Amino acid sequence: MERILAKECLQKIGEKVLLQGWVSNIRDHGQLIFIDFRDWSGIIQIVIDAHDNAENHKVAASLGMEWVIEVEGEVTKRGEKAINPNLPTGEIEINCQKLTILNKSEVSPFPLDTDGTELDESLRLKYRYLDLRRPRLAHIMQSKHKYTLAVRNWMDQNGFTEVMTPLLTTTSPEGARDFLVPSRIHKGTFFVLPQAPQQFKQLLMISGVDKYFQIAPCFRDEDPRADRHAGAFYQIDIEMSFPTVDRLFGAAENLIRDTYKTIAPQKKIANFPFPRIAYKDAMNKYGSDKPDTRFGLELQDVTDVIKNKSEFNVFNSAETIKCLVAPKCAEFSKTQIEKLENLAKEKGAKGLAYTKVTDTGLDTGVARFFNPELQQQIIQATSAKSGDMIFFVADKLNLANKVLGYIRLNLGDLLNLRDPNILQFNWITGFPFYEINDEGKLDFGHNPFSMPKGGMDALQNKDPLEIESYQYDLTLNGYELASGSIRNHEPETLVKAFEIVGYGREEVLKKFGGLYNAFHYGAPPHGGWAIGLDRLMMLLLDEPNIRDVYAFPLNSNGVDLLMDAPSPVDQKQLDDVGLMLKPNAPNNQK
């Protein structure tokens, strides 16, 4: 007999079937033993009756959880009262005719019938093969498969060609650290694992591939972060020739609209096509370049209204006064307000001023500094209503934005304004091409391969900090989901762009000589983007932990606890590649 899956039994009522899978639960009622039998398709109930077959009953009584069994039996309808509405196979069960043990199991170190989030992650990762048997994780694996397949089919139907780009290559300009792979054949030299297929996808455009895509493995040696998987991750990567901004944006918008329901049919896209927000507006209105616009609560600039209009020195001496009207929050408790104040201080603010809006004016908090006329002006300027609370931050513009942006997100949570079933996408446009980096030096704001607005002319004649980039981010519900740009395909403009941040021509040619040369042979205008697959999966599946999007993730410290990687190697393996451990180097072995 051909083995079938549990859920396929629904089509086999009255027939004899063969099942192979795991013991998920056992209920021993003496004469009758019930087994919750589990396979990849789900759970089905097996009934073993000592009256029917004493031998099977003996075997069933000996079973342990997670043992591997084979069941031959007849699919029967359950009686009305025995129906289990919580189980897809709840209307049927298997009357066991033959029960065979295929393999035993030691006792699992943790229960498998929870969602696992209550457990120590290290233990889960060490026994990942058990952890993955949970319905939640099996569902993630199935969803990731279904979603990437839907993406690939969409791409194909829309004229994109998947090309696999090299995994042993040279450095790319993504700004993270490279993973090195020492060469054995050419000792003393190293391959680099690609941070992204950036250069290759641009080379593919020069090769005449009209529209490229790839579910591309990317490698970045960064210190672990909560929202990024350590080491390796995947992105939905595209590039197209002869792009316009509308074609570039349209590809992402249509892709997402046409595919997300495969795994998240209950969610709704709030606005289509996706709204476009200028970077500066995003910072000023939401205090973030990845604003969550599922709710309003926009930051307001009240500098002109308040500054030097009262005796309140903190406000008078500040560069900017910004505020946020929290609707119907006048009744916030002292504890709630203190919590928000602490959050503001965490983000670098000196404090968080507040006041309540009443029928007659402002009350409590900073209201005492404002005369009735000023109070009315503030209410009018901010469109605040009686019963609202207003929060103020007076500081430098960037800091005020950042702090109030953070308070805004917290209010969004507090007021339940962040509905996970609403998908609010935004394009952020008009990023600065250059910025001052943490070391106080002029540096690229984003991807150095983007085209600066105004091209060579702008690079030669404008203040670098004034130049905008043809660079775009796509955000979803407050997360950066994708990044893209129209590229710089002019070799001399590329050299110039690097020169401005201090790279000489020779350095550019040494690092990106292949691409620089290629630009001389009929390079078409081109552009593209990359969507973080993991982050999209997290948001579509409401999974807070990015590691659970991977079947076998590294832990938050970049270690594979199941396979014990990374680990020391034999000296012979190092000899093969002409390397040795640096003596006296701090030994950080796990």
Which window, 275-283, 386-394, 414-422, 512-520, contacts a copy of itself (CB under 8 A)? 512-520
Using CA atoms, how far apart are residues 174 and 367, in angstroms rounded to an integer?
49
Min dist. Cβ of residue 41 to a copy of itself (A):
7
Q: Which residue's CB is nearer to a copy of itself, number 108 or number 377? A: 108
Best CA proximity match to 231, nearest among 175, 177, 182, 170 = 177
579 binds a copy of itself, rule: CB under 8 A: yes
Query: Strand 42-49 vs strand 389-395: parallel, antiparallel, or unpaired?
Result: unpaired
Q: Out of 93, 178, 237, 388, point to the residue binding a copy of itself (CB under 8 A).
A: 178
Q: Out of 525, 541, 555, 556, point to the residue binding a copy of itself (CB under 8 A).
A: 525
Using CA atoms, how far apart are residues 105 and 71, in angstroms rounded to an integer?
17
Which window, 189-197, 330-338, 365-373, 381-389, contacts a copy of itself (CB under 8 A)? 189-197
Using CA atoms, how far apart are residues 590 and 574, in angstroms rounded to an integer?
19
535 binds a copy of itself, rule: CB under 8 A: no
Kindly state the DSSP code that residue 177 receives in the 8-state scheme. Answer: P
Q: Which of residues 67-106 bind a copy of itself (CB under 8 A)?
A: 67-68, 102-106
Pair of tokens at residue 441: 């030096």
Query: Strand 211-220 vs strand 161-162: parallel, antiparallel, or unpaired?
Result: parallel
Q: How many residues bind a copy of itself (CB under 8 A)?
A: 125
Q: Out of 88, 90, 173, 182, point to the residue binding a copy of itself (CB under 8 A).
A: 182
- Residue 514, SS3 per DSSP: helix
Q: Out of 26, 176, 192, 278, point to the residue binding a copy of itself (CB under 8 A).
A: 192
Helices (H), 218-286: 245-259, 279-286
Kindly state the DSSP code that residue 119 receives in the 8-state scheme. Answer: S
Please enumerate in sequence order all residues whose Cβ is within 8 A of that of 70, keeping only pairs 6 or more positions apart, or say none.
18, 19, 20, 98, 99, 100, 102
11 binds a copy of itself, rule: CB under 8 A: no
**Encoded amino acid at 407, one letter:** I
Min dist. Cβ of residue 271 to a copy of itself (A):
24
Phi and psi at 330, nearest 5°, equal -60, -25
User: What residues does 220 pair with on adjacent strands?
Assistant: 231
Q: Which of residues 383-402 bind a copy of itself (CB under 8 A)?
A: none
Q: Out of 28, 72, 210, 289, point to the residue binding a copy of itself (CB under 8 A).
A: 210
Q: Out of 17, 22, 303, 495, point to the residue binding a copy of itself (CB under 8 A).
A: 22
Using CA atoms, how far apart are residues 60 and 113, in angstroms rounded to an integer?
21
Q: Which residue's CB is nearer to a copy of itself, number 198 or number 477? A: 198
Using CA atoms, how far apart are residues 451 and 248, in angstroms rounded to an integer?
14
Q: Which residue's CB is nearer to a copy of itself, number 172 or number 477? A: 172
Min dist. Cβ of residue 331 to a copy of itself (A):
48
Total count of residues recorded for the chain: 590
Q: Which residue's CB is nearer to a copy of itself, number 232 or number 305? A: 232
- Contact pattern from residue 122 through residue 151 relative to a copy of itself, giving x for each residue in contact according to CB under 8 A and a dash for the rest: -----xxxx-xx----x--xx-xxx-xx--
Contact 251, 158 (CB under 8 A): yes
Min dist. Cβ of residue 205 to a copy of itself (A):
9
Q: Which residue's CB is nearer to a copy of itself, number 53 or number 556? A: 556
Q: Which residue's CB is nearer to a copy of itself, number 271 or number 573? A: 573
588 binds a copy of itself, rule: CB under 8 A: yes
